[in-house]
Structure 1
Amino acid sequence: MKDHEGALIKGLIARLKGDGALKALLGDPIRIWDEPPAGAAFPYLLVGRGESRELAGGGLIEHRLTLSCASRFRGTEEARAVAAAVRARLADAPVEADGVRAVSLGVVFTDVFRSSDLKRAWAVMRVRAATEE
């Protein structure tokens, strides 16, 4: 069996890196990582927690991935803009990598908030996808 989650993440990153709105917000090349490098510029997008399970009937794998935008902009405007651009770019997008393709894809939850020290704003997005080979 192929690594569906790894292929989905690879395809998502490629899809997000090809978006002009996200380049304007997250730089060119787009700052998207699973761990930001030391001294990383803001804002950036993190690929976080992932859950996968086979759906009944076989053949389809359901994924729930967490993407988080970290911003140092005063207020939540920048984090909201990144979340909106991610949502628009992923809505039922044709994502495919390593012989695995998404048959459904979208952001199903977004939470935008300030950190307790008010130095950062966060946009946490939950992505749901179903993949098949």
Structure 2
Amino acid sequence: MTHPILALRSALRARLTADAALVSLLGGERIWDEPPRGSDPPYLTFGEAVARDWSTGSSSGREHAFTLVAWSRQGGDAELLALLARLEELCADPALVLDGHRLVLLRVVGQETGRPDKTGLRRAVIRLAGLTEPL
């Protein structure tokens, strides 16, 4: 069985790359675990992920906390905020099919933008929370 974090990421990646509006904002299907060397923004990366047990006496499952990170080279936040707005729409409790698991809940729990890092890139983070159960 696929690990629930990988199953959730895979299903979410499929949903995001199937969205024409998001793909247009990114200039292609630019959603990676880690960007290929030399990639120019904008693009998205999967950030940190945590899965905790939320099993009960009668069922098992995992509670997830994870992030998607949008990267930009533009001077302001406009490009990043447009990406965050579209991501929030796409992640608002979607009906995702996961390999070996059932998605019980997915919701956006926070967003933040950051100043340029040492490479000159700006970033924005969307924080997600989810619940999965094994099939």
TM-score (norm: length of structure 2): 0.89
* Distance change in 2, residues 1:116/1:26 (3 Å): closer
Q: CA contact under 8 A between 2:55 and 2:62: conserved in structure 1? A: no
The 5-angstrom pairing of residues 1-133 of structure 1 reads 2-28=2-28, 30-57=29-56, 58-115=59-116, 119-132=120-133, 133=135
**TM-aligned CA deviation for residue 2 of structure 1:** 4.5
Alignment partner of 1:24: what SS?
A: helix
Alignment partner of 1:38: what SS?
A: coil
Q: CA contact under 8 A between 1:43 and 1:72: conserved in structure 2? A: yes
Q: Percent identity?
A: 39
The number of aligned residues is 132
TM-score (norm: length of structure 1): 0.91
Distance 1:60 1:122 in 2: 32
Q: What RMSD in Å do the two structures reach over aligned CA positions?
A: 1.7
Alignment partner of 1:6: what SS?
A: helix
Distance 1:99 1:117 in 2: 40
C-alpha distance after superposition, 1:90-111 (max 9, x if no partner): 1010112213121110221100
Question: Structure 2, unaligned stretches of length 5 or more?
Answer: none
Structure 1 stretches of 4+ moved >6 Å = none
Distance 1:118 1:2 in 2: 35
Distance 2:117 2:6 in 1: 33
